[in-house]
Amino acid sequence: MNKLRSPTIIDVAREAGVSKSAVSRALLGQGDVSPETLERVLAAADLLGYVPNAMARGLVSQRTMTLGVVLRDSTTQFYGYLQAAMQRRAAKFGYEVVSVTGVDDLTVEDAQKALRSLIALRVDGLIVSSAQLPGEDLVRYAQRVPIVVAGRAEYAEGIVSVHCDEEDGGGQIAEHVVKLGHRNVAVLLMSSDESPNGYTRGQAMIRTLEASGVTVHVMELDAYRAPVGLAVMKTLADPAITALMCPSDITMVNVLEELRVQGIPIPGRLSVTGYDAFGTLAAPFFGFTSFRLPVEEIGTTAIDRVIELIEAGVTSEKRTAIPGVLVPGRTAAPPRR
Amino acid sequence: MNKLRSPTIIDVAREAGVSKSAVSRALLGQGDVSPETLERVLAAADLLGYVPNAMARGLVSQRTMTLGVVLRDSTTQFYGYLQAAMQRRAAKFGYEVVSVTGVDDLTVEDAQKALRSLIALRVDGLIVSSAQLPGEDLVRYAQRVPIVVAGRAEYAEGIVSVHCDEEDGGGQIAEHVVKLGHRNVAVLLMSSDESPNGYTRGQAMIRTLEASGVTVHVMELDAYRAPVGLAVMKTLADPAITALMCPSDITMVNVLEELRVQGIPIPGRLSVTGYDAFGTLAAPFFGFTSFRLPVEEIGTTAIDRVIELIEAGVTSEKRTAIPGVLVPGRTAAPPRR
DNA sequence: CTGAAAGCGCTTACAG
DNA sequence: CTGAAAGCGCTTACAG
């Protein structure tokens, strides 16, 4: 555990018998160096286990080739998938991705702190995926560093966003329920504070159902993980209701547990739908009727946008809504006559 | 999108009408500053939206107060939970956590690249959670920067590790199966290359079963997500076998799907067990019989160890095995007579 | 093709 | 309590 001093460019230069300028050029592969110098530098660097100090490098070059990502909560699978997709895409362009995540849920304060530490690291670009951060906080920094919001639509001045087309998604899954023949449907609606996405998709469901002449029973919900007992009770109390639409797969699992405990047959007595359809809950075994969020494309596109911003200063699109895909399953079926 | 130059300490100094040394002292809160200077500096910094350049700061102070984390694959929930736990703990000590993740699966090469870029950032400590990275690669860097391996036991010289007590875990869940009365049990065993943890826990299951006089049928598996069709077929072909033990919940879900398609009643014809028991698959709705990995404690302890190493140069324990807890569920029951 | 010099934005002794 | 100076480890014009 004796802390060895990390070798610097000076050490490499001494070992190779050249100047540190030569080492820098050789390692960067830019500027001219003789083949012989190149070889000696490479050998010396390897021998010493030299890893260039990114701070010193970034300080002078004013570029870090690093993208910062603020994640709302890494325990939610969406963020894990997003992170992976971003990393994969960024690597293609030679950028590194470093991320800071919240725990349980990122408070506004946490998110601001995370944002600041990423800015302190002077990342070349920032991707924010946290519903909580107010747009104004972003605007303030967006003049200095390119910022892209991933996972929700952002309307603040000068902020680019990439998100799922919730209008389309909520509409598609509601249409699926309509086509199955349901005429009385309960919808669990998220509060818009807690989840703008959940709210938007819920409203889209409601609109689509109503447009088809379906009677809609709206039940409000505070959070994806909020208790659903009451909503389930109210749904079952009305024998006319034959389907229950949830704002997420997590919520759906909670609903299904309530129904299981009460011995309610699914989809016999009640059809149930979710939303998300990726990760472990998307396994065929569960057979959840859901709607797949295009998490991969959201990540990829967010990276593309931020790199456009970094390298060209402008972006091709200010807001990009990416469509997902309906996932029919075994939890929703035509209503029993 | 006009890229504004970020304000530097010089800008703040000018605005406050003091020297940059004074600004530095005021902002760091160390060294003496008059209350008046303090106030003016704070006001100026706030006005300008000053965020200290972490690179410049790190370059001179030789400390970054940042911990680097290499994650195998952020789409696996274990890593998401680990990341969150680490972040939470590190924040308590004033450290920031930045993580680099693999995609799908981190190759040795990816992991090395990730390690190097974190070292280039001159993080104060490193936590590696990737089964693939050879111990020797770690040893090489461990002389320079404290490294802790999280999630697997590491025996390489000078490397500290924190992991689940797989011996105990495999043993406990096997004992549960024994107590239920099974006398003929199939065990899906991971290859040790793919997953040292999976292999260790599998061996522990086998040992425990055999010690109780149970007949064990070992079936090898390449990966957690590998197809399980053949193993399930072989298990069902032998009517004496009444239980099937899986190395993870993910594998278990695949097994259950095979069984569902074939219409095999669970746990009537066959009891099935998993391993992991956190995240979405741990919801009561599923009722999986499993064993909970102490992911929270692994993360917390890993952070504690790396901070000990950074601040004291030594650690209280070289290898820490943390026990998990048995989660009885509805997928395992006494065998049908 | 090469090296000496300046400078990136900070912190930290060091005088005063 | 304050500011001038040195220096962290690099890159980048600039002469040669």
pLDDT digits (tens, 9 = 90+) for A122-131: 899 999 997 6
In chain A, residues 291-310 whose CB comes closer than 8 Å to chain B: 309
| Nucleotide minimizing C1' to CA distance for residue A61 | D11
Establish whether the CB of A57 is closer than 7 Å to any nucleic acid atom in strand D.
Answer: yes
Looking at residue A113, its pLDDT comes to: 82
- Please report, rounded to whole angstroms, the spatial distance between the CA atom of protein residue A56 and the C1' atom of nucleotide C6: 15
Pairing mode, strands B290-292 and B325-327 = antiparallel
Are B84 and A104 a contacting pair at CB < 8 A? yes
Strand order in B125-129's β-sheet?
Answer: A319-322, A160-164, A147-150, A125-129, A66-71, A96-101, B96-101, B66-71, B125-129, B147-150, B160-164, B319-322
- B74–A80: do the CB atoms touch at under 8 Å? yes
CATH number of the A66-164+295-323 domain: 3.40.50.2300
d(CA B319, CA A82): 33
* pLDDT value at residue A139: 85
| Cβ-based contacts under 8 A for chains A and B | 189
Count Cα atoms within 13 angstroms, Cβ side, for B178. Answer: 18
Contact between B76 and A80 using a beta-carbon 8 Å cutoff:
yes
> pLDDT-based confidence at A1, cuts 50/70/90?
very low
- CA pair distance B319, B150, nearest whole angstrom: 10
The answer, for A80 touching chain B at a CB cutoff of 8 Å, is yes
Q: Does B116 touch chain A if contact means CB atoms closer than 8 Å? A: yes
User: Does the CB of B33 fall within 7 Å of any strand D atom?
Assistant: yes
Work out the minimum CA distance from A141 to partner chain B, whole angstroms: 9
Looking at the complex, does the CB of residue B56 fall below 8 Å from at least one CB of chain A?
Answer: yes
Please tell me which residue, A86 or A195, carries the higher pLDDT value. A86
Model's pTM, two decimal places? Answer: 0.89
Distance in angstroms (rounded) separating the CA atoms of residues A333 and A168: 21
In this complex, the answer to whether residue B312 has its CB under 7 A from any atom of chain D, a nucleic strand, is no
Instruction: Please tell me which residue lies nearest to nucleotide D6, judged from CA to C1'.
Output: B60
Mean pLDDT of B125-138: 82
**pLDDT greater at residue A31 or residue A116:** A116
Q: Which of B25-34, B116-125, B254-263 has the lowest mean pLDDT?
A: B25-34
Q: What is the pLDDT of residues B224-255, one digit of tens each?
A: 778 899 999 999 999 999 999 999 999 999 99
For residue A157, give both structure tokens.
Answer: 């001045």
Does any strand D atom come closer than 7 Å to the Cβ of A52? Answer: yes
Sheet holding A184-190, edge to edge: A215-221, A184-190, A243-245, A271-273
C-alpha dist (Å) from residue A51 to A91, A243, B113, B118, B324: 19, 60, 11, 10, 38
**Within 7 A of a protein CB, which nucleotides of strand D?**
1-5, 7-13
**Residue B117: pLDDT over 60:** yes
- Parse chain B into domains and list their residue ranges: 9-52, 66-164+295-323, 166-293
Q: Write a three-state SS string for chain B.
A: CCCCCCCCHHHHHHHHCCCHHHHHHHHHCCCCCCHHHHHHHHHHHHHHCCCCCHHHHHHHHCCCCEEEEEECCCCCHHHHHHHHHHHHHHHHCCCEEEEEECCCCCCHHHHHHHHHHHHHCCCCEEEEECCCCCHHHHHHHHCCCCEEEECCCCCCCCCEEEEECHHHHHHHHHHHHHHHCCCEEEEEEECCCCCHHHHHHHHHHHHHHHHCCCEEEEEEECCCCCCCHHHHHHHHHCCCCCEEECCCHHHHHHHHHHHHHCCCCCCCCCEEECCECCHHHHCCCCCCCEEECCHHHHHHHHHHHHHHHHHHCCCCCCEEEECCEEECCCCCCCCCC
Question: For residue A4, which residues of chain B lie inside 8 Å, CB to CB?
Answer: 143-144
Backbone phi and psi for residue B239, each to the nearest 5 degrees, phi listed first: -65, -15
Whether CB of A8 is under 7 Å from strand D: the answer is: yes
Domain A166-293 has CATH 3.40.50.2300: yes
A253, A279 Cβ separation under 8 angstroms? no
Alpha-carbon gap, residue B152 to B129, rounded angstroms = 8
The per-residue pLDDT for range A183-198, each reduced to its tens digit, is 999 999 999 888 889 9
Give B47 CA → D7 C1' in Å: 30
- Check the CA dihedral B257-B261-B265-B269 and report its sign: negative
Residue (of A130, A112, A138, A140) closest to A74 by Cα position = A130
CA distance B85 to chain A (A): 7
Question: In chain A, whose CA is at the least distance from the CA of B2?
Answer: A143
Decide whether A9-52 matches A66-164+295-323 in CATH topology.
no
- Neighbour order of strands in the sheet with B271-273: B215-221, B184-190, B243-245, B271-273
Q: Is the domain A9-52 a CATH 1.10.3720.10 member?
A: no
Q: What is the pLDDT of residues A194-231, one digit of tens each?
A: 888 999 999 999 999 999 999 999 999 988 778 899 99
Q: Kindly report the average pLDDT of chain B as a whole number.
A: 91
